[in-house]
């Protein structure tokens, strides 16, 4: 018999929400067979069973959020008698106890029981230091002093939910909790963030009775679905993308630079070897690995491109963990990371790009594989885009868009001197960058270096 715990799903991941059990109590499970699905602030992923046997106990039901390391199930041998599933409030399920989760308790005027020992010496029960000692983030949550029936007298918040509420200035007393016992889940917080700013339109002016006053600047007007509309709920990844990109747009003084690249030199190698490459590797050789290789080489000369902005400082990374944005069949976007891309040649990069794309679309990536990038490439050209201004993936300082390669007339130099017109494959490389990290000359010369590598290198040895 073995206890199944919630595994560490990333360096910064402290908890996860069990969104689905693939097996019922009494079912046989094979080693490495998907056992449950977990949602974190990084990614939703399927977790395989570490052993074979019979699922005898489920301690954490679907919808509950628990800390990493919490025992969530028990798998025994075939002779093991299944245990009854634990209710979320059962004493035998430590995952349902607030103190076993990496969570904070935010109280109304009276202190929470956990803070009582520290608060016992205080002259008045309403003293503020006791709750603050238990949950440092609590003051930022703007908890109303008036109890709200939908929330209850105390609100248990997981670290992810607490962070979302604090960063977006939400009033926890106004959020309807849909989790066990009325607990506020990440979905509840995301929904509140989506509603924030969608203020009702002002009432019509009484003097005219004609049109409502315009919504305040920066506040989106409220939209109500009509009989001819279809309402599609935003998925978790769509909501998370919206929050992350909005934060990036608001926090970064982004600028934009573009160069045009003649890919004839790349094609002289790519087209000559494409059939041999596909036979050997099982996938096609595209322009993306060439561009990725040129980027990591250019970073050696322009290291500030591969950095993060800290507190009055620029943190320059001495390695290149290259993120590659991948579309999930129009359902969202992930940017899995090629670790130490600066130490890999073109063929190795091509293999990793293909592997990450396949596993991203089949939901087989771990949170570790989509975090920690130092520079990102987004391949909009595969969809036909000719010029894209991407949004920087914080805390990085730049993101490069590889747009479509199209045949165009270009001016070329001919042997012996002179110029001529030829038809070559040409495409744009467009980069959004953080003006705090460097200026336009630095960004432009980095792009020119990438262009030069693509147009002049002998790529035969790379493939």
Active-site residue set:
435, 439
Mention every residue, 6+ apart, whose C-beta is less than 8 A from residue 294.
450, 453, 454, 457
Q: How many CB atoms lie within 10 A of CB 178?
A: 13
Peptide bond into 396 cis (omega under 30): no
Mention every residue, 6+ apart, whose C-beta is less than 8 A from residue 271.
none
Q: Cα 181–184–190 angle (5° rounding)?
A: 150
How far is Cα of residue 127 from the mean position of the Cα atoms in its chain? 39
In order of 21, 138, 418, 459, the CA distances from 412 in angstroms are 61, 65, 9, 20
- Strands 333-334 vs 322-327: parallel, antiparallel or unpaired: antiparallel
- Strands 28-29 vs 53-58: parallel, antiparallel or unpaired: antiparallel
Instruction: Report the alpha-carbon distance of residue 40 to residue 156 in Å, rounded.
Output: 17
Q: How many CA atoms lie within 13 A of 346 on its CB side?
A: 22
Give 348: exposed, middle or buried? Use CB within 10 Å, 0-12, 13-18, 19+. Answer: middle
Contact assessment for residue 62 and residue 39, using Cβ atoms and an 8 Å cutoff: no
Contact assessment for residue 103 and residue 156, using Cβ atoms and an 8 Å cutoff: yes
The three-class DSSP label of residue 103 is coil
| Nearest one of 194, 100, 115 to 154, comparing CA atoms | 115
Q: Cα 383–385–389 angle (5° rounding)?
A: 120
Contact assessment for residue 429 and residue 292, using Cβ atoms and an 8 Å cutoff: no
- Strands 53-58 vs 71-76: parallel, antiparallel or unpaired: antiparallel
Q: How many CB atoms lie within 10 A of CB 15?
A: 23
Q: What's the first-to-final CA gap in the chain, in angstroms? A: 50
Q: Which helix (H) or strand (E) holds 308?
A: strand 307-309
């Amino acid at each position: 018999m073995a206890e199944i715990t919630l595994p560490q799903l990333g360096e910064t991941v402290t908890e996860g929400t069990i969104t689905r059990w693939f097996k019922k109590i009494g079912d046989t499970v094979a080693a490495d067979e998907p056992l449950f699905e977990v949602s974190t602030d990084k990614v939703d992923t399927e977790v395989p069973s570490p052993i074979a046997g019979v699922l005898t106990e489920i301690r954490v039901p679907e919808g509950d959020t628990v800390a990493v390391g919490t025992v969530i199930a028990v798998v025994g041998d075939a002779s093991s008698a299944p245990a009854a599933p634990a209710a979320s409030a059962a004493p035998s399920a430590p995952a349902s106890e607030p103190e076993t989760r990496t969570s904070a308790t935010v109280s109304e005027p009276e202190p929470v029981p956990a803070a009582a020992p520290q608060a016992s010496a205080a002259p008045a029960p309403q003293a503020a230091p006791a709750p603050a000692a238990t949950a440092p983030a609590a003051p930022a949550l703007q908890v109303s002093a008036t109890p709200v029936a939908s929330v209850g007298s105390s609100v248990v918040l997981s670290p992810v939910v607490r962070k979302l509420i604090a960063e977006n200035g939400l009033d926890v007393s106004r959020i309807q909790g849909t989790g066990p016992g009325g607990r506020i889940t990440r979905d509840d917080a995301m929904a509140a963030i989506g509603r924030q700013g969608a203020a009702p339109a002002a009432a019509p002016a009484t003097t005219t009775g004609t049109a409502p006053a315009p919504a305040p600047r920066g506040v989106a007007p409220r939209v109500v679905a009509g009989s001819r509309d279809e309402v599609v709920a935003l998925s978790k990844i769509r909501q998370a993308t919206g929050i992350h990109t909005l934060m990036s747009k608001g926090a970064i003084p982004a600028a934009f630079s573009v160069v045009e690249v003649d890919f004839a030199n790349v094609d002289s190698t790519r087209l000559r070897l494409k059939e041999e490459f596909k036979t050997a590797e099982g996938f096609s050789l595209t322009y993306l690995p060439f561009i990725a290789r040129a980027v990591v080489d250019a970073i050696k000369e322009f290291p500030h491109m591969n950095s993060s902005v800290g507190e009055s400082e620029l943190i320059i990374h001495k390695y290149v963990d290259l993120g590659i944005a991948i579309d999930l069949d129009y359902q969202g976007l992930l940017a899995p990371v090629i670790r130490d891309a600066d130490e890999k040649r073109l063929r190795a990069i091509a293999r990793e790009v293909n592997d990450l794309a396949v596993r991203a679309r089949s939901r087989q990536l771990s949170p570790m594989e989509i975090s920690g990038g130092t520079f990102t490439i987004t391949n909009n050209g595969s969809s036909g885009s000719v010029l894209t201004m991407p949004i920087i993936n914080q805390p990085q300082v730049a993101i490069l868009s590889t747009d479509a390669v199209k045949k165009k007339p270009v001016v070329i130099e001919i042997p012996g001197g002179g110029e001529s017109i030829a038809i070559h494959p040409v495409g744009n490389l467009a980069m959004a960058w953080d003006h705090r990290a460097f200026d336009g000359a630095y960004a432009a010369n980095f792009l020119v270096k990438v262009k030069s590598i693509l147009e002049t290198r002998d790529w035969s040895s790379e493939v």
